[in-house]
Amino acid sequence: MSIQNTISTWEELLETAQKKTPARRVKRPGQSPSTAPIPESLHKLPPDTAPPVLLYRDTNSWCPFCERVWFALEEKEIPFATEFIDLSNKPKWYTDLVPTTLVPAAKIEEELVYESKDILLALEEKFPHPALLPENPEENAVARQLVEEAETNGFRNISYKFLREAPTDANELANLQAEFEAKLDEFEQALAKYPGPYFVSTFSLVDITYSPHLDRLAANLPVYRGYHIKGNPRFPRLNAWFDALNQRPAYHRVKSDNITNNLLLRRRWGAEPISNSLPLDAADSENIQYRAEAAERLSDNREVAIADVIKNSGVQALAADGDFTTVKDAVDFHLRQLADYLIHGNGETLPGGRTGGKNSSVDPIFAAVGAIAFAYLRNRICAPRDMSAGAATAFRAAIDKLLASVY
């Protein structure tokens, strides 16, 4: 029996994965990104009706300001369509349309709004239920004030400085850290003012406004500064706030995973990691829903994934006499192995293209293509651009497991 036949076909893998998860995306052939999420509430629209909101956001889904708007749309269950803007090559129609030329922008019932804060407030006005600002007028005013202050209180500048600047001496770094911690102390105090884990007594635009930045910092600071927000006893309320966010399904749809955030910092700003990434969240890695979602994504979008690996990972160098068939077969096999492992877990796959049996041999070229494909995809996938953060974590954890047994 040939190696290729020892693992299910793509069609079988897709069918099994789809039985295990309702998660689906829209395919966008020939476009970037190659898939797009489907808003949770889209099914509420009558057929052939345009969604009331069109969100303009970045193609890579890295933009924290876009994440705010997406988070609010999902929380408020507003059906929306998305137009992706390539920030490295913004189309003229976009720069003509939006005075700042930045993302996000939105058309809300045909009216253009830009600046994340203004979009959030406009959504609140046009779609008041469920409310993301407190009903109580006094508390409502406090929440609005906190949303305003998020743009002016210097928190983003101070945190970016601490995270990204390359200080010349230890004192300077200690000062940046102290300034940053003083800002987090202010959050602790703000979070103490109302009952419950959020900034005001209900989940609100304040939480939405801060979550993308605090999330990125919590992922990046341990790796780039050796500094931990999560688990830090100085910030118990902030930690309880993260835990509370984690209970919200909408948050899981829109957030990035730690590795995406870490890679972004290295690729976008050339930051040098000083320690390894945080361990992959074990609960997400083992979560059968996330594993099935990752397998579904890979199986459904396999043509794009395989073409990308072949074109960009370097595996082409392993093609003997320019014959790519073997390389392509090896990539195809290993990705099916990955999808199969995600669906079935341990014991269902033969690692590394072994033909079976205790002393079976490994074809080193076949295994090398697999190892490259796995290592490439581990860093290639990006959440939530390609799949949810939980699925991306399960995907990377499965790759680690398979990589450990390629040879």
**Closest by CA position to 297, among listed 14, 100, 63, 107:** 14
User: Is 374:338 a contact under the CB 8 Å cutoff?
Assistant: yes
Report in angstroms how near the CB of residue 87 gets to ligand GSH at its nearest: 5
User: Is 23:291 a contact under the CB 8 Å cutoff?
Assistant: no
Q: Which amino acid makes up residue 181? A: E
Report in angstroms how near the CB of residue 375 gets to ligand GSH at its nearest: 28
Please name the residue that has the structure tokens 């020892």: 6
Residue 231 or 270 having the CB closest to ligand GSH? 270
Cα 1 from chain centre = 40
Residue 16 or 60 having the CB closest to ligand GSH? 60
* C-alpha–C-alpha distance, residues 131 and 338, integer Å: 42
* C-alpha–C-alpha distance, residues 210 and 221, integer Å: 16
| Interface with ligand GSH (CB under 6 A) | 58, 63, 65, 87, 101-104, 115-117
* C-alpha–C-alpha distance, residues 137 and 139, integer Å: 5
Residue 63 or 184 having the CB closest to ligand GSH? 63
Report in angstroms how near the CB of residue 203 gets to ligand GSH at its nearest: 20
Residue 100 or 346 having the CB closest to ligand GSH? 100
Report in angstroms how near the CB of residue 173 gets to ligand GSH at its nearest: 26
Rg, C-alpha atoms of the chain:
23
Q: Quote the crossing angle between the two packed helices 10-20 and 288-300, to the nearest 10°.
A: 140
Residue 23 or 63 having the CB closest to ligand GSH? 63
Handedness of CA 254, 27, 264, 288 (dihedral sign): positive
Residue 257 or 340 having the CB closest to ligand GSH? 257
* C-alpha–C-alpha distance, residues 68 and 56, integer Å: 13
Residue 6 or 101 having the CB closest to ligand GSH? 101
Residue 115 or 179 having the CB closest to ligand GSH? 115
Q: DSSP of 152-212, one letter per residue?
A: HSSHHHHHHHHHH---SSHHHHHHHHHHHHHHHHHHHHHHHSSSSSSSSSS--HHHHHHHH
Q: How many CB atoms lie within 10 A of CB 297?
A: 26
**Closest by CA position to 79, among listed 118, 40, 109, 113:** 40
> CA angle, 140 as apex, 136 and 146 as ends, to 5°?
150
Residue 22 or 154 having the CB closest to ligand GSH? 154
Report in angstroms how near the CB of residue 308 gets to ligand GSH at its nearest: 24
Report in angstroms how near the CB of residue 132 gets to ligand GSH at its nearest: 16
Report in angstroms how near the CB of residue 58 gets to ligand GSH at its nearest: 6
H helix runs in 85-154, sequence order: 92-97, 116-126, 137-152
**Closest by CA position to 119, among listed 109, 108, 130, 110:** 108
- Residue 308 phi/psi, 5° resolution? -65, -45
Report in angstroms how near the CB of residue 283 gets to ligand GSH at its nearest: 29
Report in angstroms how near the CB of residue 54 gets to ligand GSH at its nearest: 16
Residue 206 or 338 having the CB closest to ligand GSH? 206
Report in angstroms how near the CB of residue 381 gets to ligand GSH at its nearest: 20
